[in-house]
Chains A and B, each alone.
Chain A
Amino acid sequence: MNKENNVYIIVFSVIMVVVVGVSLAFVAQFTKPFQDANIRLEKMQNILSSVGIIVDRTTAEETYNKYITKSEVYKVDGSLQEGVDAFGIDLANELKKPEDQQLFPIYECKKEDGNYFILPMRGKGLWGPIWGYVSLKDDGITVAGAVFDHSGETPGLGAEISKAPFQEQFINKKIVDESGQFVSITVEKPGKLPEGYEYGVDGISGGTLTSVGVHNMLHRYLQAFRNYVEKNNILSPVTPTANITNDTLQLDSTTVITEQ
């Protein structure tokens, strides 16, 4: 048989592609449950790491069940959404919905040294999505810890948000000021914030757009969290109630880091 005629080449190519395609589909089906389990455990690891619990993937599930006592889902205005599993929510999908339909999961963690809220969040970096988990003490104001990650920010610049020096700055920052106004946490150019400023952290030099991404992401999710706290009276009544008006929002957005 002549191997070089066109009919043979086409038949050969078609058979080859079908065989390879079928075997790939088979492998994908076979490995999917294992891959999903890994992604699930990694999510548990990330949630736990925002309150300072570092676990191995093998013990993640056990530790997660021990510490994470409750999870809820709310909308941007703070109203509760019943009947949705918080852990199953994919923030990437939520971001595609209109704002008033988006769901925000929250986890409550009971540790030896106190109770914490854990907020998953997701936003836009320079090159792609960024995401993270911020934990707040049970006063609903003070940040206990923060972890961020990204899919493709520039190494050495924007990618620094996933490193400890950036994340450690968030510890003990506050999202509500003394008068009870929601202020979020500002991510500002290094050196711009006054020494010991309680409501902001230094951004990454040279990673301005990623820092802006973190700033905007924090603002959005912390705002929704405050709405949730107030609407559902989660906290004890001594907590000052935040009064969010359009004015403060506008004011806040002008403090966003300016382009270099």
Chain B
Amino acid sequence: MSTENKEKESLFSAKRRKLITDPLNDNNPVTVQVLGICSALAITVQLKPAFFMFLGVLTVIAMGNVIISLIRDLIPSRVRIIAQLVIVAGLVIIVDQVLKAFVYDVSKQLSVFVGLIITNCIVMGRLEAFAMANKPWPSFLDGVGNSLGYGIILMIVSIIREIFGAGTLTIPTGINTVYVLHVFPQSFYDLGYVNNGLMILPPMALIVVGMIVWAHMET
């Protein structure tokens, strides 16, 4: 962090805090930049896989940003996209292997979508737009900020879909444990309430994401 001292800029200066807070709202990668929609549709049926997908993306973007930022002066600009791709793909495989070893259920649920983190536009977008031109620490913050922005949307969508689609909320309480909250009491169902099966299907995810984008644009 010697470069940090030279600049005399504190680790969490106002400018750097903005790197984290900006993507949460004003420059949200999903609702404003409309990136990473594919995975937002695929793994938001339940809260738990959405949460672990967020952790996976967080790891990949944060580490990818730092690594690319560290070697940004070494990367020839003609092959920079390939270099970014190799690093992201390597990180994603590492995340996949670690999930398979330590959180097997989650890895089964995420199945191919872990591999598809590689194609999540947010990852390459941040590497190309930020890490290639900034120092490691700001790049790290930018990665964390953007994956948080992505994660928030994932959480919101999955909570809505799970509550109305399955009537439950699976809150991860540990790596392999989960607390299943039954949102509606049995008396609700006795009165004739039925879970909405459409919520479980991908089209409804698109509609929910669309409504969130709309609500976000309006405010």
- The answer to whether A and B interact is yes
A23 CA to B87 CA, complexed, in Å: 11
- Give per-residue flags for A1-18: 1 if the beta carbon is below 8 A from chain B beta carbons, else 0: 001100011001100110
The smallest C-beta distance from B59 to any residue of chain A, in angstroms, reads 13
Give 8 closest A-B pairs by Cβ, nearest first: A34-B101, A31-B101, A38-B104, A20-B90, A3-B76, A31-B97, A9-B76, A35-B100
Are A35 and B176 interface neighbours, CB within 8 A? no
- Give per-residue flags for B99-122: 1 if the beta carbon is below 8 A from chain A beta carbons, else 0: 011101100000000000000000
Are A16 and B100 interface neighbours, CB within 8 A? no
Task: Verify if A42 is at the interface (C-beta below 8 Å from B).
Answer: yes
Chain B residues within an 8 Å CB radius of A9: 76, 78-79
The smallest C-beta distance from A111 to any residue of chain B, in angstroms, reads 26
The smallest C-beta distance from A235 to any residue of chain B, in angstroms, reads 37
Are A20 and B86 interface neighbours, CB within 8 A? yes
Are B90 and A24 interface neighbours, CB within 8 A? yes
Category for how many chain B residues contact A: 20 to 34
A8 CA to B74 CA, complexed, in Å: 10
9 further contact pairs, Cβ within 8 A, besides A13-B83, A34-B100, A58-B176: A8-B76, A9-B79, A12-B74, A12-B79, A13-B79, A24-B90, A24-B94, A28-B97, A35-B101
The secondary structure that dominates the A interface is helix
Category for how many chain A residues contact B: 20 to 34
A44 CA to B90 CA, complexed, in Å: 32
Known: A34-B101, A34-B102. A23 touches B77 (CB 8 A): no
- Give per-residue flags for B186-218: 1 if the beta carbon is below 8 A from chain A beta carbons, else 0: 000000000000000000000000000000000
Task: Verify if B75 is at the interface (C-beta below 8 Å from A).
Answer: yes
Contact of A38 among B79, B94, B100 (CB under 8 A): B100
Chain B residues within an 8 Å CB radius of A28: 97
A28 CA to B79 CA, complexed, in Å: 27
Closest to A32 in B: B101
27 CB contacts below 8 A, A to B, read A3-B76, A4-B77, A9-B76, A9-B78, A12-B79, A13-B82, A16-B86, A16-B87, A20-B86, A23-B94, A24-B90, A24-B94, A27-B93, A27-B94, A27-B97, A31-B97, A31-B98, A31-B100, A31-B101, A32-B101, A34-B101, A34-B102, A35-B97, A38-B100, A38-B104, A42-B104, A57-B104
How many CB-defined contacts (below 8 Å) exist between A and B? 57
Closest to B112 in A: A152
The smallest C-beta distance from A9 to any residue of chain B, in angstroms, reads 5
Are A3 and B77 interface neighbours, CB within 8 A? yes
Contact of B98 among A16, A27, A38, A58 (CB under 8 A): A27
The smallest C-beta distance from A44 to any residue of chain B, in angstroms, reads 13
A27 CA to B98 CA, complexed, in Å: 8
Closest to A36 in B: B101
Are B101 and A38 interface neighbours, CB within 8 A? yes
Closest to B75 in A: A12
Chain A residues within an 8 Å CB radius of B90: 20, 23-24
Contact of A4 among B78, B87, B101 (CB under 8 A): B78
A8 CA to B75 CA, complexed, in Å: 10
